[in-house]
Chain A
């Protein structure tokens, strides 16, 4: 980053770029830096490189109840609410920078395709975990959390299991 800015300063001093180009160049560099380096975006020679969960497509009888639950209890940001059938509930890094979202929508009238697998629950990481704080915060939202130290379960308005956990309690390498 420092070398890039030094180059921009040199170009500005020699008149190669305008004052506006200089300011925009630094601002753009900051945005690109925040979005992650080129290395992080590089795909492997074959196959795909997983960066994370993009979205969870969640179908239920009333998307508004899901919206209210996930925004209130888990602090997700409500985006693109069409007021009729669907909403995006964003969390994590900013949209476009690796953030995830739930697409909560009303169930379609048509029968879903037959599948032999089911996502039976989703667990979310809660940073700065503290058992008492999490328990109190959930109860303040009318939830009845059950579980163990570092990990609790609640059910959303449609009885879908929602697990909340610390990095120690739910970690693939511990």
Chain B
């Protein structure tokens, strides 16, 4: 990027392009970098673009949904007899930093169900997993650990504790570990 800027600046200084052209080209290049970055995410074959949803099963889906709604300011949609859905935003919004129109907002489905029950449609029973998702980390806006810790404690959130340099952990109503952080905690900084 800097090399391109320098070359255009040279052309401007040599009178090859006008001031207006310089500004337009640099604006296009700077915003085009974002578009190129988005294109780099385009799938080749099967490539995960984003978490579509997390399926969370617990003894009381409504209690869990209400807790996550309160803590994360999430609306509830699609209330059914045994589940509720919490999207990470409003209808029509795009996921953070995603421009592709066929990537919807991530959501959590809170369910109450027997995971060991045989499928109603006669499908093969769910095999027993030897892996476990022992916590999920969520990215929140404007994360400042001390301020957020105070906020969570004021809301009565249980077991709020520091998690490394960039995050906090807490426990949801069913003892599930929930981590929150800002953008600083990512695949390059974690671990």
Contacts and interface: CB of A to CB of B under 8 A. Distances in A.
A133 B49 CA distance: 16
Contacts of B187: 55, 77, 79-80, 88-90, 95, 99, 101
Given A29-B30, A167-B104, A43 B5 contact: no
A53 B138 contact: yes
Contacts of A60: 130-132
B39 to A, nearest CB: 12
Contacts of B103: 125, 127, 167
Interface string A60-76: 11000010000001111
Contacts of B73: 44, 47-50
Interface string A110-143: 0011111111111111111100011001100000
A15 interface: no
B82 interface: no
A23 B42 CA distance: 29
A14 interface: no
B191 interface: yes
Interface residues of B, number: 101
Residue among A6, A116, A133 facing the most chain B CB atoms (10 A cut-off)? A116
B50 A30 contact: no
A57 B134 contact: yes
A160 B131 contact: yes
Interface residue SS majority, chain A: mixed
Contact of B26 (A5, A41, A76, A77): A5
Nearest to A73: B46
Contacts of B64: 117
Interface string B175-191: 11101110111111111
Most chain A beta-carbon neighbours within 10 Å: one of B6, B77, B187? B187
B57 A165 contact: no
B14 interface: no
Interface string A20-60: 00111011011101111000111110111111111111111
B140 A119 contact: no
A57 B54 CA distance: 12
B1 A30 contact: yes
Given A74-B46, A119-B55, A55 B190 contact: yes
Contact of B127 (A33, A116, A155, A163): A155
B7 to A, nearest CB: 10
Given A5-B30, A90-B187, A98-B97, A158 B50 contact: no
23 contacts: A1-B27, A26-B26, A30-B31, A30-B33, A34-B34, A47-B71, A47-B155, A48-B148, A50-B139, A52-B106, A53-B139, A61-B131, A88-B187, A91-B49, A91-B50, A99-B186, A100-B50, A116-B176, A118-B132, A120-B56, A124-B48, A125-B103, A167-B103
Given A57-B179, A119-B136, 18 more contacts: A5-B26, A23-B2, A24-B2, A47-B70, A48-B148, A51-B96, A52-B138, A75-B45, A75-B48, A91-B49, A96-B184, A96-B186, A113-B175, A116-B174, A123-B55, A133-B45, A156-B131, A170-B52
